[in-house]
A and B are shown apart, each in its own frame.
Chain A
């Protein structure tokens, strides 16, 4: 995981007056599964198109395997793309689709035959080799698209929301297949999606993109447990967010006032009285208690949602803020109570310093 295979340096891109990508730099390591995650319109596809060469960038530099490809044609870059709707060639059979790249590069007949068979085997499409794309199911079309890209032995495979056209069940299955394929072939994947679920399950690292800027690059675990910005905390997983002001500091702990009735005690890391902070609590990090004490907060229960593996409790604080709590399996579910008390562990709180929206 040391070698950098794709390097994006200070890339900027705008369409008309709108700045789509604003000074982005990313290093992608050889063999990793990197996901670019963000809401629609954040510029993630633009990055992919810049790497593949389908769009040239306005400023910055793109290196693939230590070669500067910034001004190179897509035909000359050793990367391949899987498009959102697969873009299979409708007039060609599965087999012809798969070996299209090799035929264009005038690879020898024997070689083409051998590699086509390998790919048909890899994606288990041998028996459908003579079918046309429209005669295939969505999942099968997806496999052909994968084989058509991988047969060229690209240094990097670019995937642009490849699962978005599939139904829920198939999507889950293809997530696993893709991940296994990536491990088996040891090819670098750069995967673009707006689904945090896909990003968290498949990736080695995730780039969180928002309005053309990188919010955070990290492992899925770290992004979940240590979001660096409010956007990341809100976008990945569910969050209860409280904005408050540091009221007093004593013995390494700071008292943060959110409203007249609500205060949090947090571990102080060099805060000053008057600092604005945001406190983020994941639903599973709240605990519910029977009795009121001077630390916990009263919660009026509105709903219990049981989904098999866990129970979600939705309620409101005295300031009417809605709170989500996820109860661990086996814990008391407080089903018959109207009011319970919220408690938390100091180390489970995620604290962002208010104005900068940067984590501290």
Chain B
């Protein structure tokens, strides 16, 4: 029994080690005194200070966040409404539209990137932040729709009827009943859209213009000249934010399910 347990733990340990080693190394090198990511020479915080002075890197970060927040907001709103409409109304082409939604999810990003670039060229739209945002909305929209739809499908179809039976107008029903009920799907759709936008390289590479460099593009272009440790510092900071958010959401989830169990 003891041996079995040991083997199990060893296996889990190895998997976690394999998954998190690269990340750990990244964080470690952000505190490295050497400029090269090869040897660890000593502990320092100077790269975090250098980062604060690296204008172009911070600008790229700003662009990335702006694009991510804007495209997430827009795609979440459009996606949520689309999912509800697709579920609720019967109209011509509904089933075709339902299937078409999966195409942007499954086609290679590079195809979508080229397609978007050619359409911007066709309409003589200059590349910039706006084209970047439009493109990000385009590829994250289906993810939001799919995410909201999965919640909608498990919803009691009588909820909205009950609401109108109790005297709520369609608009009130939407804001008081439907939206709160699909909120988990909306939030997970938005998180998905946000993360997709945050680290997108391929589509952004095609649709970004001068002055709209994003962080992933910036880092990607730095490979040629060598990545400086302040990028490590920035990545570590992003990691810290992500881990904090994840921990918070997990804690909230555990607390809620604990509360539910107490009544069962």
* A→B interface (CB under 8 Å): 52, 54, 73-75, 80-81, 83-85, 87-91, 100-101, 104-105, 131, 134-136, 148-149, 152
Contact = CB atoms under 8 A, between A and B. Distances in A.
A91 B181 contact: yes
Nearest to B183: A91
B157 to A, nearest CB: 9
A87 B172 contact: no
B165 interface: yes
A87 B162 contact: yes
Given A91-B180, A91-B181, A54 B164 contact: yes
30 contacts: A54-B164, A54-B165, A74-B161, A74-B165, A75-B164, A80-B165, A80-B166, A81-B162, A85-B158, A87-B158, A87-B159, A87-B161, A87-B162, A89-B159, A89-B162, A89-B163, A89-B176, A89-B181, A90-B181, A100-B163, A100-B166, A100-B168, A104-B169, A104-B172, A105-B167, A131-B263, A135-B259, A136-B263, A149-B166, A152-B166
Contacts of B165: 52, 54, 74, 80-81
Contacts of B162: 81, 83, 87-89
Contacts of A131: 263
A100 B167 CA distance: 9
B156 interface: yes
A67 B164 CA distance: 20
Contacts of A148: 166
A91 B151 CA distance: 14
Contacts of A85: 156, 158
B99 interface: no
Interface of B: 156, 158-159, 161-169, 172, 176-177, 180-181, 183, 259-260, 263
B158 A75 contact: no
Would you list the 7 A-B pairs with minimal beta carbon distance, nearest first? A87-B158, A101-B166, A87-B162, A135-B263, A91-B180, A104-B168, A83-B158
A88 to B, nearest CB: 8
A85 B169 CA distance: 22
Nearest to A52: B165
B167 A101 contact: yes
A87 B177 CA distance: 11
A327 to B, nearest CB: 46
A306 B83 CA distance: 58
A100 B164 CA distance: 11
A237 to B, nearest CB: 32
Nearest to B263: A135
A89 B182 CA distance: 12
B222 to A, nearest CB: 47
Contacts of A101: 166-167
Nearest to A73: B164
